[in-house]
Every structure is written in structure tokens, then in C-alpha cells.
Amino acid sequence: MANSIKIKNVPEGFQSVITNGKHSILADEPLKSGGTDLGFSPVDLLLSGLGLCKVTTVRYIARKNNWQIGDVKAELSHETRRGENGLKTQVKVKMLIEGDLTQEQKAELLKQADRCYVHRMIEGEWDIEHAVEAHSLELKKLETENV
């Protein structure tokens, strides 16, 4: 695995600090879920990753082809329902690409956006391995007292 993401909880609500070693962000749950709503929710982060990948891909392809574009924006929403085979999630992506582009160029940019790495990763097969380390709270208390 190339990237490592580390997450540490913060005592308030369900806040956590997420870091990749270079950058950090605060995540949380909404008020209705018992959080303090002071950061992105897990679903917000997932959709943000997908949207950013699509926007970046559009910009990359436009530059590669010397197509003049301005701002590229994406708005993502989702709806999740329970079905016979588990959860079914529909994600809607609305993209705005500023620039004088032909229909063919727009179609190519959208086609490439759907081929971005995160889109392909989400659509692909996942194998998630779990490893859990549990430490006694008493042991932690003793360790901090001896420091």
C-alpha cells in the first residue's frame, strides 16, 4: 500500500483528526448522529475524494489536449437504500466546465472523468483486512503517570 492514513479520535462528539503524514483534517459526525458537526462526515470525505479526482482528471485531460478551460466544478450527492443484496447507493455528479468546448470535447472530458482512479477504485472489488490492537485503559493510565 502506497498511502497510509491515520485517524485519532478527539474527545468531543465523534471528532477525529485524519492525517496522511503531511496534511491533517478534522472529521466528525452530524448532530443527528451524536457528533458536533465540526468537520466532514465519512460520507462527505468519500464523495469529496471522488469529486476531486473527477475535477483533477478533467483539468489534466484539457491541459494535455491544449483545450482552454476556466473553472471546473463538481457537485455530488448520494442516496442509499437497502435492497435484497445489501445497500444500494446512487451517486449523482453534476459537473460544470467553463470554456468554449465542442460537444465532442465535453463528451471526452466526461468520459475521462468517469475513468479517474477513485471512480475505478470505488467501482472495483474491495478486500478490506482488519487488524485490532486493544490496550487496557489502566495500562495507559500507568504509562502516562510514569512519564
Each of the 147 residues of the chain gets a pLDDT tens digit; together they read: 458 999 999 988 899 999 999 999 999 999 999 999 999 999 999 999 999 999 999 999 999 999 999 999 999 999 999 988 899 999 999 999 999 999 999 999 999 999 999 999 999 999 999 898 887 777 565 565 654
Return the SS3 of 44: helix
Q: Where are the domains of the chain?
A: 1-40, 41-124
C-alpha distances (whole Å) from 52 to each of 75, 109, 126, 131 are 10, 14, 21, 29
**pTM for the whole thing?**
0.85
CA distance 57 to 69: 13
Q: The CATH number of 41-124 is which of 3.40.50.1460, 3.30.70.20, 1.20.140.10, 3.30.300.20?
A: 3.30.300.20
What does the block give as the cell for 122?
470505488
